[in-house]
Amino acid sequence: MPLRVIFMGTPDFSVPTLRAIAEAGHEIVAVYTQPPRAGGRRGLELTPSPVQHETERLGLEVRTPTSLKSEAEQQAFAALQADVAVVVAYGLLLPKPVLDAPRLGCLNGHASLLPRWRGAAPIQRAIMAGDAETGMMIMKMEEGLDTGPVAMVEKCAIGPDMTAGELHDRLMAQGASLMVEALAQLGINCLTFTPQAAEGVTYARKIDKSETRVDWTRPSGEVHNHIRGLSPFPGAWCEVEIGGRMERLKLLRSTLSDGVGESGGILDDRLTVACGSGAVRLVEVQRAGGRPAAVQEFLRGAKIAKGMKLT
C-alpha cells in the first residue's frame, strides 16, 4: 500500500533511497535536507545538498530548515500528515514532537550492525577497527542516539583492502532496497521490531582532522586499516621530502606487505613502508593540489628511494 512519506537526508548516501522510494510509488509529501552550504572555488557560492538536487529533479517540495527545535517548524512538519518519515544521514537532531508526528513513526537507515557503531561515522570506524563485516539496518527512531528497535538487516562483508568509499557505495545501494522492502511491510502492517542488544555498544564518533595523520609506529594492520578507513575522505596523510622540501602526501590505498625496518622507512622501490611491526605497500596516493595516482605513476614524477622516510 502506498504511504505518505516525509524523506529526510542530505549527502550522496541518501539519494538512492529517496529515488527508490519515489520509484516504488509512495507519495513523498516533502523532503527535508540541510541548507545549502558555502562552496565553490572561493567558498562564496551556496551549494545545495545532493538530496536537494535530486528532490528538485523529481519535482518534489524541498524544505531546508537549520533546526527543527522551534514550535513553528514542528507544526509545519506535523501538518504534512505523513504516515512515516524516512531518515537517512539527515544530520539534524529530531526532537520528540517530530519523532511522534508521523502516524507510523520514523524509520532510519543506519550503516552498521547495531548496537555496534552508533553515531556519525559508522562506515569509517568499522574499517578503522578492522571489522570483517558490517551492514545496513532499518530501525525505528527514538530520542536516544541510534538506540531504537531494529526491523531489518542486510549484512555486508568488508574485504581486506576495501576502502571506506567502496563500502559507502555498497551500503548506499543496499540501504535503498532494504528501505523500500521495509516500507512495503509497514504498509501492510507486517513490519516487526526487535530491541537492540544491551551488550556490544560502540560509538562511531565523527572523524576529526587531528586523527588523520598516519602514525608509522603502529602495527601494519592498524596503519592499513587507518589508510583505507579514511579513503577517499578526509584522507590519511603523511609527509615526505620531494625535491628538497617536505610535502604532504595523501594515502588512498594500501595493502599489507612483508618487511622490517625503522618505522616510516621506505624499504624498496615499490613504496613499501615499515611500520611498528610489519609493513604496508602503498598502492594509490595523491600529492597536494594533484589528482589521485597509482604509486608507479607517482614515483615517475617524485624521486623517492629506498632508505628515505615518511613522517
Q: Which residues contribute to the annotated binding site for (6S)-5,6,7,8-tetrahydrofolate?
A: 112-115
In the numeric block, the cell 595523491 is attached to: 286
The DSSP bridge pattern shows strands 203-204 and 118-119 to be: parallel
Provide the strand spans (E) within 68-191.
84-88, 106-110, 118-119, 133-140, 150-157
User: CA-CA distance, 259 to 278, in Å (whole number)?
Assistant: 6
* Separation CA 121–CA 111 (nearest Å): 9
Name the binding residues: 112-115
CA distance 143 to 112: 19
